[in-house]
Amino acid sequence: MLNVPTLVIDKAAAIGDNWQQRYHQLVLHDPVWFDHLPYLPFPQPWPVFTPKDKMAGFLAAYAALLELNVWTATRLASAVWEPSSATWTVQLTRTLPSGDHEHRILRPRHLVQATGHAGEPHLPAFPGLDTFGGRHWHSSAFPGVDAAATAVEGRPPPPPRRVVVVGACNSAHDIAHAYAEKGHAATLVQRSTTCVVSSEAIVRLGLAPDYSEGGPAVEDADVALWGTPAEVLKAKHVQLARAEAEHDGGVLDGLRAAGFGLDRGPDDAGLFFKYLQRGGGYYIDVGASRLVAEGRVAVRQGVGVAAVEAGGVRLGDGSVLPADDIVFATGYANMRGQTRAVFGDKVADRVGDIWGFDDEGEMRVIWRKTGHPGFWVHGGNLAFCRYYSRLLALQIKGLEEGMVKYEDMHPASKDVQTE
């Protein structure tokens, strides 16, 4: 929209495949009025929490309607920065419909890493995993509770499967919920604590209170949210987290009684700041908390996985959880790891850790000067992307128009403001 020619490359075969190919129960946990895309909001009758297949379809329609330049089935083979010309030499490999491969070289002045909120899936090296006799996945690769584990009409029902889900945040709850509703025995292994807020509390009170059905225009709500200094915003979210906890009192009491560990985010500032400062550690409850409270999903709290055995998972206290399936909902590495994997050490060594606050209360590295000329990082949920994409684009436009020099831009701080 700023008249800067732009190309998007995606290794998937089709736009939206990274949603389409996930497990059936996946939905957005943010309400729709918080998630609108720039220039083309979700239509009026859209569900409050978007199912993954609808999200995939909307992204494909969005690219078509706004005539975005997108090359699918395309991988970045290499990217080399040329300081003398201030351009990149980018080698791309495209897989054509015929199955043949086409190699292209482009020389853009800017690269934007927009590979999601985080980096590669984090799978700890648990001893004995290669001896496990059942199935196991990282949550990012979980295919769903497939037909082999569910009843088929006209046949005797298969025996219930026992699944151990290592982790206790959004993906872990979704997956345990999926198993439990099909009659299988699911156990969450919760090593630390989780910030839990019900979807109902978010709809009624607001994840960010200005975003609500019938509320102000999303552009105005964005200014109100992101125009508030971080520490002031945090103080507001302490109050919001307190109100959400009062609203969810019955659910939270049931979780505590079941032995589930709870927290209220960094400095009691709730889910929003746990996302900003940690990038995880929370669950927006869409039903699994009731299953935990009722004992239909078991929980082992305050203990980690020591090893995997042929028949299950051995915990740090020496006890063993029998398992047919194990799902490791163990999160993801820092987005900087993806920088290193895709763009190489020379780029990654000049880029600091991404996310978290710097010493001035701003997000580190993302959406701003990264430390490497011509290299930018963009990510987060839809609401973050909607607002900050414009600010990132304006910086690139300013450089392209000669209105600012890269060396004169505000430095990318590597300081960390911890929880």
Element (H, E) at 35: helix 32-35
Using CB atoms within 10 A of its CB, is residue 98 exposed (0-12), middle (13-18) or buried (19+)? Answer: exposed
Which range, of 29-38, 105-114, 203-212, 214-223, averages the lowest pLDDT?
Answer: 203-212
* Residue 213: predicted pLDDT: 81
Mean pLDDT of 95-100: 93
On whether the CB atoms of residues 63 and 70 are closer than 8 A, the answer is: yes
Domains 8-118+333-408 and 129-328 share a fold: yes
* Integer Cα distance of 294 and 291 in angstroms: 5
* Integer Cα distance of 211 and 65 in angstroms: 25
> How many Cβ atoms from other residues are within 10 Å of residue 11's Cβ?
15
Check residues 241 and 212 and name the one with the higher pLDDT: 241
* Integer Cα distance of 85 and 346 in angstroms: 17
* Residue 29: predicted pLDDT: 82
Q: Give me the residues paired with residue 196 across strands.
A: 283
Burial string for 392-407 (b: 16+ CB within 10 Å, else e) reads: bbebbeebeeeeeeee
Q: Which fold has domain 129-328?
A: FAD/NAD(P)-binding domain (3.50.50)
Which range, of 156-160, 218-222, 262-266, 350-354, averages the lowest pLDDT?
Answer: 156-160
| pTM score | 0.86
Element (H, E) at 165: strand 162-166
Residue 413 has pLDDT above 90, yes or no: no
* Integer Cα distance of 332 and 351 in angstroms: 18
* Residue 211: predicted pLDDT: 83
Using CB atoms within 10 A of its CB, is residue 130 exposed (0-12), middle (13-18) or buried (19+)? Answer: exposed
Mean pLDDT of 123-144: 93
Task: List pLDDT tens digits, range 277-334.
Answer: 887 899 999 999 999 999 999 999 999 999 999 999 999 999 999 999 999 999 888 8
* Residue 419: predicted pLDDT: 31
Question: Pairing relation of β-strands 320-322 and 312-315?
Answer: antiparallel
* Pick from 65, 52, 4, 39: nearest CA to 386: 39
Residue 375 has pLDDT above 60, yes or no: yes
* Residue 30: predicted pLDDT: 85
* Residue 415: predicted pLDDT: 41
- Taking the alpha carbons of 261, 266, 268, 273 in that order, is the dihedral positive or negative? negative
Residue 138 has pLDDT above 90, yes or no: yes
* Residue 212: predicted pLDDT: 81
* Residue 277: predicted pLDDT: 84
* Residue 335: predicted pLDDT: 86
Of the pLDDT bands very low, low, confident and very high (cuts 50, 70, 90), residue 198 is very high
Q: How far is CA 201 from CA 241, 258, 268, 283, in A?
A: 10, 21, 16, 12
* Residue 402: predicted pLDDT: 95
Which range, of 21-30, 182-191, 405-414, averages the lowest pLDDT?
Answer: 405-414
Q: Which fold has domain 8-118+333-408?
A: FAD/NAD(P)-binding domain (3.50.50)
Which range, of 53-67, 273-287, 395-409, averages the lowest pLDDT?
Answer: 273-287
Mean pLDDT of 223-244: 93
Q: pLDDT averaged over the chain?
A: 91
* Residue 358: predicted pLDDT: 87
Residue 148 has pLDDT above 90, yes or no: no
Mean pLDDT of 68-78: 97
Residue 147 has pLDDT above 70, yes or no: no
Token pair of 240 as six digits: 């919001």
Mean pLDDT of 49-75: 96
Using CB atoms within 10 A of its CB, is residue 321 exposed (0-12), middle (13-18) or buried (19+)? Answer: buried
On whether the CB atoms of residues 164 and 179 are closer than 8 A, the answer is: no
How is the chain split into domains, by residue range?
8-118+333-408, 129-328
On whether the CB atoms of residues 262 and 293 are closer than 8 A, the answer is: no
Which range, of 30-39, 187-196, 206-215, averages the lowest pLDDT?
Answer: 206-215
On whether the CB atoms of residues 165 and 354 are closer than 8 A, the answer is: no
* Integer Cα distance of 42 and 34 in angstroms: 10
Alpha helices in 317-369 (DSSP H): 335-343, 345-348
> How many Cβ atoms from other residues are within 10 Å of residue 280's Cβ?
19
Residue 105 has pLDDT above 60, yes or no: yes
Q: Give me the residues paired with residue 301 across strands.
A: 190
